Amino acid sequence: MNQPQKWPEVDIEIKQYIDNLIELLRLNLKHNLIGVYLHGSLATGSYYVPKSDMDILVVVSDALLPGKARGLNLAIAHYSDTRPTIGNIELSIITVYVAKNIPNPIPFELHYSSFWHDRILKDDVQYKGNQFDTDLIVHLLFVKQKGFCLYGQPIDKVFGNVDWNDFMASVIDEFNWTLEDQNILDSPYYSILNICRTLRLRSEGVHRIYSKDEGGEWGLRCLPKRFNPLIQRALNVYQSDNTIKEVDIKSGGVKWGRDELLAFRDFAKQNQGFHRSN
C-alpha cells in the first residue's frame, strides 16, 4: 500500500509545485491576496499521490473583475498541465467578507478543477454575475478544523465559524446524489468511502470531520460484515501506489461489480441513520 502524505512532509516535487502555485497567485493578485489555505486530503494526512487532488482555498480582499478572473483561471489551467501528479489542483477564490461571514449560499470569484479545465481553456466559463458553490461550506469547515495556512494571514483571523447544520446540508446533498439512480457506478471507490464517511457523521452526531480513510475504516468496523469486501476493496484502490491513467482515476483502474455497488447503495438508502453493526 502507498503511504499517505500530509503537509508539510510531502514529496519535494509536490511541495515545489504548490510553492510555485502560490507564487503564481501572488504575482497575479498582488495586494488583493489575503491568504492561501490548504484543505482536503493533503491537510488531513490521507493524500495518495496516484489519485488525490490538491485542494486550495484562496481569499482576496476585493471581488475580482471578470477580466482578472479570466486571466488568472487561464494561468492556473495552464499551470495544472505541468503538475507532477495525476490528481489535479482543485482551487476556489472567495472574498474575505465571505470567509468571515459565511453567507448561505456561498459565492465564489473563481473556481478551477479538472472538470472545468477544458472549458476554461476554450473560454467557455462565465465570469460575470453571482456564482455559488454548495461544496464551499464543506471546504470552509475543513480549513477551520484541519487546514494549513500556506501564505498570508492566519486561519483564525480570516475565517468565521461554520454552521454545522449548513455543513451537514451540503454533505447530505452530495450523499443523496450518490444514492440517486446509478450514480455510484460513476466513481465507485470514492462513492463507497464517502457513503461510509457520511453514515459515520450521521451516526455519531459529533461536530467532527473525517477523511475518506477514516470513513472506510469505520465502515469496516460498524457496517454489516457482508459489505466488508467491497469497503476494503475501495480502501485498497484509494490507498494503492499503482500508477493509473487520468482517464481511469474515477474507477481506480479496476473493474467493479455492478450488483455489489447497487446493493451497497440500496443499503445506504434504507439505513441513513445507521447506528451499529449488524
Q: In a 10 Å sphere around its CB, with 0-12 CB exposed, 13-18 middle and 19+ buried, how is residue 212 labelled?
A: buried
Angle at 70 between CA 56 and CA 47, to 5 degrees: 20
Q: Residues 6 or more apart from 196 whose CB is under 8 A from it?
A: 215, 216, 218, 219, 223, 231
Which residues lie across from 5 on neighbouring strands?
Answer: 47
Contact 218, 193 (CB under 8 A): no
Tens of pLDDT, residues 48-69: 887 889 999 999 999 999 999 9
Fold observed for domain 12-161: Beta Polymerase; domain 2 (3.30.460)
- The single-letter code of the amino acid at 154 is P
**Would you state the pLDDT for residue 6?**
94
Which residues lie across from 47 on neighbouring strands?
Answer: 5
The DSSP code for 131 is -
Q: How far apart are CA 233 and CA 245, in angstroms?
A: 19
**Would you state the pLDDT for residue 274?**
57
Q: How far apart are CA 271 and CA 111, in angstroms?
A: 34
Phi, psi angles (nearest 5°) of residue 36: -125, 130
Q: Taking 70 as the threshold, does the pLDDT of residue 276 lie above it?
A: no
Q: How far apart are CA 80 and CA 144, in angstroms?
A: 26
Tens of pLDDT, residues 195-252: 999 999 999 988 999 999 999 999 999 999 999 999 999 999 998 877 777 776 787 7
Q: State which of 19-23, 44-48, 125-129 shows the largest mean pLDDT.
A: 19-23
Longest CA pairwise span in the chain (Å):
57
| Peptide bond just before 224 cis, omega within 30 deg | no
The DSSP code for 108 is -
Enter the C-alpha cell of residue 120: 476554461
Strands (E) across 127-247 are located at 148-152
Domain range list for the chain:
12-161, 165-270
User: What does pTM read for this prediction?
Assistant: 0.91
To which H or E segment does residue 76 belong? helix 66-80
Q: How far apart are CA 157 and CA 142, in angstroms?
A: 16
To which H or E segment does residue 265 belong? helix 258-270
Phi, psi angles (nearest 5°) of residue 149: -85, 115
**Would you state the pLDDT for residue 260?**
96
Q: Taking 80 as the threshold, does the pLDDT of residue 151 lie above it?
A: yes
